[in-house]
Amino acid sequence: MRGKTVLIAESGGITRLTLNRPDKLNAFTMEMHGELRAALEAANASPDCRVVVLTGAGRAFSAGQDLAEVGGPTDPATSDAGSRLESAYNPLIRLIASLEKPVICAVNGIAAGAGANVALACDLVFAARSASFLQAFARIGLVPDSGGTWTLPRLVGPARARGLAMLAEPLSAEKAEAWGLIWKAVDDDKLEAEVSAVAGKLAAAATYGLALSKQAIAASSTNTLARQLDLERDLQRLAAASPDAREGIGAFLEKRPPRFTGRKS
Ligand code: LHQ
C-alpha cells in the first residue's frame, strides 16, 4: 500500500512506516501528520500487526516541522505554533506512547527538531552510525517540543538536556547510545538488517505483555514506588490471564519454544 507522504508496508506481523519527503528531509507537513496518524491507528487496531517500525526515506529521518508550511514571521500560523502542536504533534506523541504494540524507530539519518523528539518517543531507537540528533529549536528561537522537554531530562538527565536544548548541536548516534538516549547505534549498512531482526523477534513475542510493560514503565515517571507496586500487581494480573502467558509458562514447563499469538484474550 502506498500513501503519499508515508509509505506503508505490512509483512509477517511487522508494519513498516517510512516518512517519505526525502527532498525536504522528511519534514513534517499536516498531510504527513494525517497519514502517519491514520497508519499508526490502523496498526494499533489490527491484530495482524505485532510491531511497528518507523523510519525515513533518503538521507534523513526527519528535519521536524516543515518550516515552509508554517510560513514566515508574518504568517499567523507561525504565531500560533501552539495550535499546530495541539492538533498534530501532541496527538502523535500520545499515540506512539500509548500504542499497544512496540514501536521501533530506525533513525537512518539526521533527526532534527520535532523529528528528533518523534524518534525519541518510540520504544526502541536504533540509529545509523552516521545519523545524529539535533534539538534544532534554539537555532530558530523555539522551545523543544513533541515531548522533548519531558523525554530528554528523563533519558540523559537535566544537565545534558539543557545542553542539547540550548546549544542545539548535533549529537552523534554513538554518543546518543553512550548517553542512554537511544537503544543502539548500528553501522549504516547493518541498520536495516538489525532492525528487521529485532522487529521479527517482537512480531513473535507476547504482544499484550509488551503493551502492559510499556504502560508500566511510562507510569513510573510520576508514580511512587508504592503506587508502582500496586500497578505492577494489577497489570501482572491482566498479563497472567492472557493466552500468551499461559502458553509461555506451559512451553517453559514442556521445554519447548512458545508460540505466542499476541492476543489479549
Ligand atoms: C526543510 C527543513 C524543514 C522545510 C530541511 N522545513 N524544509 C512545531 C510546531 C510549529 C512550529 C514550528 O515547529 C515545530 C516543531 C519543529 O520541528 S521546529 C524545528 C524545525 N526544524 C529545524 O529547524 C531544522 C531545519 N533544518 C536544518 O537545520 C537542516 O536542514 C538540517 C541540519 C536538518 C540538515 O542540513 P543539510 O544536511 O545541510 O540539509 P539542507 O539544509 O540543505 O536541507 C535539504 C533540503 O531540505 C533543503 O531544501 P532545498 O529545496 O533547498 O534543497 C531544505 O530547505 C529542506 N529542509 N529541513 N524543517
Mean pLDDT, consecutive 10-residue stretches, the chain (265 aa), reads: 83 98 98 98 97 98 96 67 95 98 98 98 98 98 98 98 98 98 98 98 98 97 97 98 98 98 93
Q: Residue 181 C-alpha to ligand 1 middle, in angstroms?
A: 22
The grid coordinates listed for 183 are 537503544
Statement: the pTM of the whole predicted model exceeds 0.85: yes
Residue type, 86: E
Structure confidence at residue 74 (pLDDT):
66
Structure confidence at residue 75 (pLDDT):
64
Residues with CB under 6 A from ligand 1: 24-25, 27, 63-68, 70, 81, 84-85, 89, 110, 112-114, 134, 136-137, 140, 142, 145
Residue 115: partners with Cβ closer than 8 Å, 6 or more residues away: 25, 26, 27, 28, 60, 61, 62, 63, 64
Beta-bridge partner residues of 234: none
Nearest alpha-carbon partner for 102 in 126, 85, 86: 126
Residue type, 170: P
Q: Residue 179 C-alpha to ligand 1 middle, in angstroms?
A: 25
Structure confidence at residue 118 (pLDDT):
99
Question: Which residue do the cell numbers 520535532 mark?
Answer: 114
The grid coordinates listed for 196 are 528487521
Structure confidence at residue 79 (pLDDT):
63
Atom of ligand 1 nearest to the CA of 85: 9
Beta-bridge partner residues of 122: none
